[in-house]
Amino acid sequence: SQQGEEDPQALSIQEGENATMNCSYKTSINNLQWYRQNSGRGLVHLILIRSNEREKHSGRLRVTLDTSKKSSSLLITASRAADTASYFCATALNTGGFKTIFGAGTRLFVKA
């Protein structure tokens, strides 16, 4: 199975509400990254959090990392219709070189 698993698989909320997505992984990581993808296009990088960091903010985004539980969460505050997209977490496994493993993603739908 994949290294990263997102939860929930799909999320539907009203504009203005907060959206929380979770990611769990299996092995030790160097860092964890969150990406957004709109309708089968390329991925857009949101945040990179390193294994020695616990929380990071970027605008309306807040990411936490709990290495003891091997989990991370992405919080989008005051969501907008434009936030409608799929969100993926990605972890880097050190296998001699680094291999980036993506989770299955959370599909977020923000209703206007």
Partner 1 sequence: KAGVTQTPRYLIKTRGQQVTLSCSPISGHRSVSWYQQTPGQGLQFLFEYFSETQRNKGNFPGRFSGRQFSNSRSEMNVSTLELGDSALYLCASSWTSGGTDTQYFGPGTRLTVL
Which 8-state DSSP code applies to residue 20? E
CB of 33 to partner 1, least distance (A): 7
Nearer to partner 1 by C-beta: 61 or 101? 101
CB of 109 to partner 1, least distance (A): 17
Query: Any contact of residue 69 with partner 1 (CB under 8 A)?
Result: no
Site for partner 1 in 36-55 (CB under 8 A): 40-45, 48
**Selected range binding partner 1 among 15-23, 27-35, 58-66, 67-75, rule: CB under 8 A:** 27-35
Query: Any contact of residue 61 with partner 1 (CB under 8 A)?
Result: no
3-class secondary structure, 41:
coil
- Of the residues 27, 66, 94, 111, which one makes contact with partner 1 according to CB under 8 A: 94
Residue-wise DSSP of 54-89: -EEEETTEEEEEETTTTEEEEEE-S--GGG-EEEEE
The C-alpha atoms of residue 72 and residue 21 are separated, in whole angstroms, by 8
Q: Of 79, 41, 88, which is closest to residue 59 (Cα–Cα)?
A: 79
Find the angle CA(14)-CA(20)-CA(25) to the nearest 5 degrees. Answer: 150
Binding interface with partner 1 (CB under 8 A): 2, 30-31, 33, 35, 40-45, 48, 88, 92-105
